[in-house]
Amino acid sequence: MKTPFPIHPIPAAAAALVLAGSLFAATAVSAAEAAPVSKLGAQAKRGLYLVSTAGCHDCHTPFKMGPKGPEPDMSRALSGHPQDLQMPPAPKLPEGPWVVVSAGTNTAHAGPWGTSFTANLTPDHETGLGQWTQKDFIATFRTGRHMGRGREVLPPMPIPVYNNFVDADLAAIYAYLRTIPAISNRVPEPLPPAQPMAAAK
């Protein structure tokens, strides 16, 4: 059966990095975020719990190589794709059963939709969620669009899954994200799918 778009294998190293990152994320997050919990209100505490269990750090916190392998760089927690990491064009891969290739930081992903970069979720006013209202945040999950009215939110962000959060959960996540350190980090705009070269005449 033919697929509606070409699907490609993911390099083994990238696949291993993503898997290893997920395994180490929970330990790194709990250790780094345990101290300020006592200062959070009940709603933000609920948000911390949801952020820590919903895999937000797995993509929105850049990975670095640690003593046990890839781990979230908590000095850049939830700041998205590093602005100083200029990605080369995504590799052209042969057809196969895989559909995506990911950067070693797990913050840039390329597939049939083009290349997407994970957003800065910190409350930085210029480059993060500082200008977002709670209404904007919830609307993003309900519509699958940036701030509920802009461009489409692209894979691998699991909007259909996170849309199952009730409004109170999304409000709690928003409340928690307002409490984390603001990091100035301007994430690049997504890139469209590479256009195939026209056949020579």
Percentage of the chain exceeding pLDDT 70:
79
Strands 69-72 and 108-111: unpaired
Predicted confidence at residue 13, as pLDDT, reads: 38
Element (H, E) at 162: helix 159-162
CA distance 134 to 174: 6
What average pLDDT does range 132-143 have in this prediction?
98
Backbone angles phi, psi at 152, to 5 degrees: -70, 140
Predicted confidence at residue 196, as pLDDT, reads: 52
Mean pLDDT, the chain, integer: 83
Tokens of 115: 């290349």
Predicted confidence at residue 172, as pLDDT, reads: 98
Q: For residue range 27-83, list pLDDT tens digits in order.
A: 444 444 444 688 899 999 999 999 999 999 999 999 999 999 999 999 999 999 999
Predicted confidence at residue 17, as pLDDT, reads: 39
Backbone angles phi, psi at 87, to 5 degrees: -85, 135
The model's confidence at residue 91, banded by pLDDT at 50, 70 and 90, is confident
CA distance 62 to 29: 12
CA distance 135 to 15: 35
- Whole-Å CA distances, 160 to 58, 142, 153, 157: 18, 9, 11, 9
